[in-house]
């Protein structure tokens, strides 16, 4: 088990596939995580080795120390090397000249990648993805994604997250497309790279679409090479998507996925007419199920399957997905696995969707507790546990709410200890000092009591109301 803590760099591909080729498992870690967050994932995954780059050395070393990873097992790719620093670098690894190891694995059961996701409830869990899961998903999206060796794809979405790992890194390697790799999103660099490298397609999350639709600087660049843009990881607003398509004169699409599905399950094809003999659906949809998958919509109240409507949109139901891309399960967590994948092999996504008569899916709500900030996962349970360590907080619950811009943000409801004085800013700063930026609490409301069910479960629906 090897931890990978790195932003997008070309060596990510070598490291990731080197680990898999050696018969290991890569647990990819959010590059913005703090040392305690890194240590938590490494501990849960039982990682024996951590690979990072020098700008992240401090967090990586602190986490490695806490977990008991030795100096020679903390690899700093661009560091000074084993002799000078005690940490091997890329030259040490490549220079050793060792032959490729002779490895036999079962692709159906061997865990290749272990990204973390909070799933429907609770703390982040290791999502065990087999070689077959990863390979299947690349193959399933190939006819819809239509990537060719002539494509130049901008890779600004992180490879450590399943969206970038499959849809950018692995799909580009498989289809021989070229990736223009960016370690972080910066609008000017993004635009410069598209112009300079004649980028043909871009995969984004909705906040990038906001910048592209609104920022005046966009007009200063020749972006005419860019013909297709795919948004995913959070809902794309229909008007926003259309505004980007019009301004940049490109084909705007949407897809849907989750870590537990390796990740893609639904996509608007690059060429809907060629792939399916149909017209493009509205941009508020996430398109049709990918090949070799079975899908159901199920009424969460009754458990009844919702049929395709004769016209218009169906009633909303929870989306269930079955196929070779469904994860093996959550690492060392049989209960969470059984709660998520049923006996028939359907994965219950925790997302509510509607379908049109052709089976085109519209994601309309979330049943699960998960919050998405700019497409990144924010597990409420983790923030609630952290907030409860504050001496002035008696009880708390965190939910996602929409801010003035329509962006989902984490909001904490806080019950203070009797007689204690606490401000919203103090709560926000307390959390901000301990978590990665995307997990910050961005709104606070003080209330008298957290609404809970008889069994003590937080009634998040009541808080939302
Ligand atoms: N609309 C509404 C969407 C959408 C969405 C995701 O962090 P994870 O586990 O995984 C992802 C993966 C996103 C993704 C992968 C491949 C792909 O092609 C694509 O579209 C181009 C997107 O984000 O979070 C999973 C959860 O994120 C929400 C939903 O709640 C899901 O369960 N989500 N995409 N288009 N919500």
> Does ligand 1 come within 6 angstroms of the Cβ of 190?
no
Quote the ligand 1 centre to 53 CA distance (angstroms): 28
| Nearest-angstrom CA–CA distance, 335 and 233 | 26
Burial class (CB in 10 A: 0-12, 13-18, 19+), 58: exposed
> Does ligand 1 come within 6 angstroms of the Cβ of 235?
yes
> Does ligand 1 come within 6 angstroms of the Cβ of 325?
no
Q: What number does the ligand 1 atom closest to the CA of 350 have?
A: 32
Q: What number does the ligand 1 atom closest to the CA of 161 have?
A: 7
ipTM above 0.90, yes or no: yes
Quote the ligand 1 centre to 287 CA distance (angstroms): 13
> Does ligand 1 come within 6 angstroms of the Cβ of 27?
no
Q: Where in the chain is the domain with CATH 3.40.50.12780?
A: 130-367
* Residue nearest to ligand 1 atom 2, measured at CA: 235
> Does ligand 1 come within 6 angstroms of the Cβ of 372?
yes
Quote the ligand 1 centre to 304 CA distance (angstroms): 25
| Nearest-angstrom CA–CA distance, 119 and 128 | 12
> Does ligand 1 come within 6 angstroms of the Cβ of 351?
yes
> Does ligand 1 come within 6 angstroms of the Cβ of 162?
yes
| Nearest-angstrom CA–CA distance, 247 and 280 | 19
Quote the ligand 1 centre to 235 CA distance (angstroms): 8
> Does ligand 1 come within 6 angstroms of the Cβ of 167?
yes
CATH of domain 130-367: 3.40.50.12780
* Residue nearest to ligand 1 atom 6, measured at CA: 233
> Does ligand 1 come within 6 angstroms of the Cβ of 377?
yes
Per-residue confidence (pLDDT) for residue 97, from 0 to 100: 81
Per-residue confidence (pLDDT) for residue 170, from 0 to 100: 98
Pocket-testing residue among 28, 164, 257, 354, ligand 1, by greatest number of atoms within 8 A of Cβ: 257
> Does ligand 1 come within 6 angstroms of the Cβ of 200?
no
> Does ligand 1 come within 6 angstroms of the Cβ of 129?
no
Q: Which residues of 337-364 are buried (b: 16+ CB within 10 A; e: fewer)?
A: beebbeeeebbbbbbbbbbbeeebbbbe
pTM of the model: 0.96
Contact 309, 357 (CB under 8 A): yes
Q: What number does the ligand 1 atom closest to the CA of 286 have?
A: 35
| Nearest-angstrom CA–CA distance, 77 and 93 | 9
Pocket-testing residue among 141, 256, 379, ligand 1, by greatest number of atoms within 8 A of Cβ: 256
Q: Where in the chain is the domain with CATH 3.30.300.30?
A: 370-463
> Does ligand 1 come within 6 angstroms of the Cβ of 374?
no
| Nearest-angstrom CA–CA distance, 50 and 169 | 20
CATH of domain 370-463: 3.30.300.30
Quote the ligand 1 centre to 209 CA distance (angstroms): 15
Quote the ligand 1 centre to 232 CA distance (angstroms): 5
Run of H or E residues at 424: helix 424-432
Determine the angle formed by the axes of helices 57-67 and 35-45, rounding to 10 degrees: 40
- What CATH class does 2-104 carry? alpha beta
Q: What number does the ligand 1 atom closest to the CA of 253 have?
A: 21
Nearest residue to 158 via CA among 16, 265, 325: 16
Quote the ligand 1 centre to 37 CA distance (angstroms): 22
Mean pLDDT per block of 10 residues along the chain (465 residues) reads 98 97 97 97 98 98 98 98 97 87 96 96 96 98 94 98 98 97 97 98 95 96 97 95 97 98 97 93 96 97 97 98 98 97 98 97 96 96 97 97 92 97 98 97 97 91 92
Q: How many CB atoms lie within 10 A of CB 160?
A: 26
| Nearest-angstrom CA–CA distance, 17 and 102 | 15
End-to-end Cα separation, the chain, in angstroms: 43
Pocket-testing residue among 153, 233, 378, ligand 1, by greatest number of atoms within 8 A of Cβ: 233
Burial class (CB in 10 A: 0-12, 13-18, 19+), 62: middle
């Amino acid at each position: 088990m090897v931890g990978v803590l790195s932003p997008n760099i070309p060596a990510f591909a070598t490291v990731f596939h080197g680990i898999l080729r050696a018969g290991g498992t890569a647990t990819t870690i959010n590059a913005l995580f703090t040392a305690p967050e890194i240590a938590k994932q490494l501990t849960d995954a039982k990682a024996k080795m951590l690979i990072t780059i020098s700008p992240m050395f401090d967090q990586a070393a602190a986490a490695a120390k806490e977990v008991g990873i030795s100096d020679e097992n903390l690899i700093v790719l661009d560091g000074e090397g084993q002799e000078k620093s005690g940490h091997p670098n890329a030259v040490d690894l490549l220079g050793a000249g060792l032959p490729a190891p002779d490895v036999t694995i079962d692709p159906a059961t061997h865990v290749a990648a272990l990204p973390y996701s909070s799933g429907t409830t609770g703390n982040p869990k290791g999502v065990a993805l087999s070689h077959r899961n990863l390979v299947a998903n690349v193959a399933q999206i190939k006819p819809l994604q239509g990537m060719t060796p002539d494509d130049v794809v901008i890779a600004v979405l992180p490879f450590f997250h399943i969206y970038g790992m499959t849809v950018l890194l692995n799909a580009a390697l498989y289809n021989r497309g070229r990736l223009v790799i960016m370690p972080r999103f910066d609008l000017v660099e993004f635009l410069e790279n598209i112009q300079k490298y004649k980028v043909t397609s871009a995969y984004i999350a909705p906040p990038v679409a906001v910048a592209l639709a609104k920022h005046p600087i966009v007009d200063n660049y020749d972006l005419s090479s860019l013909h297709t843009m795919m948004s995913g990881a959070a809902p794309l607003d229909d008007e926003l998507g259309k505004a980007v398509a019009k301004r940049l004169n490109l084909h705007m699409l949407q897809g849907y996925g989750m870590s537990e599905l390796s990740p893609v399950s639904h996509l608007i094809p690059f060429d809907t007419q060629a792939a399916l003999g149909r017209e493009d659906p509205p941009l508020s949809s996430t398109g049709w199920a990918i090949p070799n998958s079975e899908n159901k919509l199920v009424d969460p109240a009754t458990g009844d399957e919702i049929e395709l409507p004769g016209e218009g949109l169906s009633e909303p139901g929870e989306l269930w997905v079955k196929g070779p891309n469904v994860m093996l399960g959550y690492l060392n967590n049989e209960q969470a696995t059984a709660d998520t994948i049923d006996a028939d092999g359907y994965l219950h996504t925790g997302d509510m969707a509607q379908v049109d008569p052709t089976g085109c899916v519209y994601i309309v709500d979330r049943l699960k507790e998960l919050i998405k900030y700019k497409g990144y996962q924010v597990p409420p349970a983790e923030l609630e546990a952290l907030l409860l360590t504050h001496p002035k907080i008696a009880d708390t619950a965190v939910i996602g709410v929409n801010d003035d811009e329509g962006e989902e943000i984490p909001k904490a409801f806080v019950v203070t200890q009797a007689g204690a004085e606490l401000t919203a800013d103090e709560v926000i700063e307390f959390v901000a000092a301990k978590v990665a930026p995307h997990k910050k609490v961005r709104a606070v409301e003080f209330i008298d009591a957290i609404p809970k069910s008889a069994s003590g479960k937080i009634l998040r629906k009541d808080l939302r109301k």
